Amino acid sequence: MPLPDGVRTSGRYALVLRSLQKTGEEFDVGAYEVAIGPNEGSPLTRYLRGRVDKACARLASVPGDAHPRRAVARAELVVPYAVLLRTD
């Protein structure tokens, strides 16, 4: 589906979400690892360093050092989960 007029993107990929809500929940980034791609299995803290975008992560079998962070939003991930944005 085309993006609505006025929607700006910062990348080629987007997550498909519903029920977006503000939150102040804390979570431990150190408990996660990269789930797919060439960095699969890498600590999420290392992968996100210097990045300002998104990542696909899973709970690590062996958590790393604690890195608590506060989330600003929470949403439900829905089918098709992720999409490639085309600008043509």
Divide the 88 residues of the chain into consecutive groups of 10 and give the mean pLDDT of each group.
Answer: 72 83 94 90 89 78 92 89 74
31, 66: one domain:
yes
48, 79: one domain:
no
pTM for the whole thing?
0.67
7, 43: one domain:
no
13, 32: one domain:
no
16, 32: one domain:
no
CB of 27 closer than 8 Å to CB of 68: yes
How many Cβ atoms sit within 10 Å of the Cβ of residue 79?
Answer: 5
Of 27, 33, 59, 62, the closest CA to residue 46 belongs to: 33
49: Cα separation from own chain's centroid: 13
The parent domain of residue 12 ranges over: 1-22+73-88
How many Cβ atoms sit within 10 Å of the Cβ of residue 14?
Answer: 15
- Total of domains in the chain: 2
